[in-house]
A and B are shown apart, each in its own frame.
Chain A
Amino acid sequence: MVDILKPEEMFNSIDYTVPSDRWEDVPPDFSEGTFCYPTKKKNQDYLGIPSKEEWSPADEDWKLPDNWEEIIHEGFKERLGKYRSLKVFMDICVRCGACADKCHYFIGTGDPKNMPVLRAELLRSVYRKDFTTAGKILGSIAGARKITPLVIKEWFSYFYQCSECRRCSVYCPYGIDTAEITMMARELLSLLGLNINWILEPAANCFRTGNHLGIQPHAFKEMIEFFCDDIEEITGLKLNPSFNRKGAEILFITPSGDAFADPGTYTMMGYLMLFEHIGLDYTLSTYASEGGNFGLFTSSEMMKRLNGKMYAEAKRLGVKWILGGECGHMWRVINQYMETMNGPADFMEIPKNPITGTVFKNAASTKMVHIAEFTADLIKHNKLKLDPSRNDKFKVTFHDSCNPSRGMGLLDEPRYVLNKVCNNFYEMPENTIREQTFCCGSGAGLNTEEIMDLRMRGGLPRANAVKHVHEKYGVNLLSCICAIDRAALPPLMDYWVPEVGVTGIHELVGNALVMEGEIERTTDLRFEPLNEEEE
């Protein structure tokens, strides 16, 4: 639903006054609560990337390395040579403004530097000065500016106020991927040791123990077994998933949040029950125990390293293909970067659903299938016995997680599954779902508590649409297919629409699944009564 202005409104909206401050002259705000905490040196050292002694963005002097200008210039030059896309994105923008009001951070804050066009301009202005003839000669007339420590501060402020959700890219007539501009800016910042802890600590942990939290193999196994105990109590069925089993047909990888953080844990229980129900020959890995890839938010090199470990484990175990859980950015990495980085994964087979025989040709190169596709395929072939009435106390809506929707076009499969496992499903307004979905406000490593205000205002457009369906249809459950969403949406709902809970779709699948030999269920996977009347 595009809001088209009437001619008179359009004329009235033209502002002829010269802005009082040029955007270049407005310094970024670094008061407490406006920035993410920097990472610790130990994490940078462990990953072997440029490190920096303890500092705070609130410091007046960031104590950049002596040759910082050279580092940025050379780093920029290298990337312009390596990625044609970056060069195109730097040159092609005509500043039409189609993206300007599409970013959830702009919509929630009104800060012009959160307009994607201006966020990109922070980088572009330096590009013009350093790499274009017009910029070198004409300077500010050609929109060029010299890089200064203040520009670096501005980059840090605003490129860590972008969740790389790519909503703006949907509206760009040239298809500029602003998320990739943010990625490049973050890479350049990383060359100066300017990383944030909420991203780099998980990346370092993942590199060492195989997952973001640093969960060791035995703890991972114990946690899964703990879920199996809960499933036994609810269904009467004892599940025995295998770990690191060589020769299994399928390796299942999901974000570690599903194993260790509510409400993702219930989604994990749903996966386990589904696999048991269909008798899937699969194994879990305690080494590739993380689907998420915080390298995506650090640098392409880091992304490649973390992605590579999943494939190394698949090779070691000799599986035929990989099934992936409900994750967001993991799928952006798999669907759009994996093949160039580590692919094609020719040591595996083109994924084939052993139950239905469906061949997932879309995953022919990566050999990795999203569980929403897999489950939708099972339901389509009538392989699951489902009782959707077990989810009758829920009025469910679906938040299209940015990366699966815009990053891989996974729009209908989760809806198909939801409509089969619950009886009350309601869509949010058209311009807030599917390709136009609004970010949770905390993606791309911004799900950290110190910037809770920013997360709340960035998540406002999403929460506002949930509030609408809550008021109109009585929606009380927001479903999603991303672990970061499952962590970020509960506080967002708590602030804006406290009556609405958050779930992954496989928690609802687990509730509805009628498993062979199960006892009569009295509770859902959260040990809450199946129907409200029983409460």
Chain B
Amino acid sequence: MELQKYLTENRRKLADKWVAAVIETYPKDSVKFFLNTKDPFANPVGNTIKRSIDLLFAEVIKQKMDPAAVNEAMDPIIRLRAVQEFTPSRAIAFILTVKHLLSDALKKHRTDKEVALFLENVAANTDELILIAFDIYGKCREKIYLLRINQSKESLKKLLIKKDLLCEIPDPNSQISELKE
């Protein structure tokens, strides 16, 4: 088969299947909104996913992926899923879809040597994507915890209490226990 021609002609369809698979990880009632609302400002989640997946699809079918392009494409979608209500594995599991999707699409031609090699390469690229996603996910979670720590740390309140500049509502229970001592 003419693999490159097939990929060029079916790129939109294949990428859209991948997008749909990602969106299906969200609550059922929201799938239509995320898929159909085209305005990127009214629907940042759907549009971020679509943009990232389009770029990632272009990379995953390459013989050799461009690390910078992959990182740039991967960051927005992982940054998003890292703060949504997914377990770590569910947040990045969508990447595996592309491997199965292409394998299914080309199943009739698997005996074709070029196709077999291509699918092997896609599988290797997918593994690489998972590792990159894992790194980004880790960094995003670290960032969230840093933001949480900073909010407590930078709160001048603590400093002011230390310097006796604040006078908070006294806790009657703690006063009682102090008196007892």
Q: Taking beta carbons and an 8 Å cutoff, which residues of A are in contact with B?
A: 1, 3, 5, 9, 13, 15, 19-20, 29, 34, 40, 42-43, 45-46, 100-101, 106-112, 115, 201, 204-205, 208-209, 213-216, 218-219, 222, 260-262, 429, 431-432, 449-450, 452-453, 456-457, 460-461, 464-465, 468, 491, 494-496
Contact = CB atoms under 8 A, between A and B. Distances in A.
Given A1-B41, A456-B144, A461-B42, 8 more contacts: A5-B36, A108-B45, A112-B30, A219-B165, A219-B166, A456-B83, A460-B44, A495-B143
20 contacts: A1-B41, A9-B36, A13-B36, A101-B33, A111-B85, A213-B157, A216-B167, A219-B165, A452-B147, A453-B83, A457-B83, A457-B84, A461-B42, A461-B44, A464-B41, A464-B44, A491-B147, A495-B83, A495-B140, A495-B147
B36 A215 contact: no
B89 interface: no
B39 interface: yes
A111 B43 CA distance: 14
B27 A111 contact: yes
A392 to B, nearest CB: 28
B157 to A, nearest CB: 6
B154 to A, nearest CB: 8
B169 A43 contact: yes
Contacts of A29: 85
Contact of B169 (A9, A108, A204): A204
Contacts of B48: 464
A429 B39 CA distance: 11
Contact of A209 (B32, B38, B43, B167): B167
A294 B143 CA distance: 29
A465 B41 contact: yes
A107 B44 CA distance: 7
A101 B80 contact: no
Interface residues of B, number: 46
B150 A491 contact: yes
A410 B152 CA distance: 33
A427 to B, nearest CB: 12
Interface in B24-60: 26-30, 32-34, 36-45, 48
Interface of B: 26-30, 32-34, 36-45, 48, 79-80, 83-85, 140, 143-144, 147-148, 150-152, 154-157, 160, 165-173
A209 B170 CA distance: 12
A495 B48 CA distance: 15
B42 A110 contact: no
Contacts of B33: 100-101, 110
Contacts of A452: 144, 147-148, 151
Given A20-B28, A107-B43, A496 B79 contact: yes
Contact of A3 (B28, B42, B157, B169): B42
B148 A449 contact: yes
Contacts of A112: 27, 29-30
A213 B166 contact: yes
B42 A13 contact: no
Given A13-B32, A449-B148, A46 B169 contact: yes
Given A101-B33, A110-B30, A449-B148, A214 B166 contact: yes
A460 B170 contact: no
A208 B43 CA distance: 44
Nearest to A10: B36
B146 to A, nearest CB: 9
B39 A109 contact: no
B74 to A, nearest CB: 16
Contact of B166 (A43, A216, A461): A216
Contacts of A495: 79, 83, 140, 143-144, 147
A106 B29 CA distance: 11
B148 A213 contact: no
Contacts of A13: 32, 36
B45 A107 contact: yes
A408 to B, nearest CB: 24
A42 B157 contact: no
Nearest to B141: A453
A465 B160 CA distance: 36
A460 B80 contact: yes
A354 to B, nearest CB: 34
A492 B148 CA distance: 11
A494 B30 contact: no
Nearest to A431: B41
A20 B28 CA distance: 9
A228 B172 CA distance: 38
B26 to A, nearest CB: 4
Q: Which 6 A-B pairs have the closest CB atoms?
A: A110-B30, A219-B165, A464-B44, A112-B29, A110-B26, A449-B151
A431 B169 contact: no
B166 A101 contact: no
Nearest to B152: A449
B34 A110 contact: yes
A495 B33 CA distance: 25
B150 to A, nearest CB: 7
Contacts of B151: 449, 452, 491
B41 A215 contact: no
B167 A214 contact: yes
A321 B167 CA distance: 30
A42 B147 contact: no
B83 to A, nearest CB: 4
B38 A40 contact: no
Contact of B84 (A109, A115, A431): A109
Contacts of B40: 464, 468
A382 B140 CA distance: 48
Contacts of B150: 491
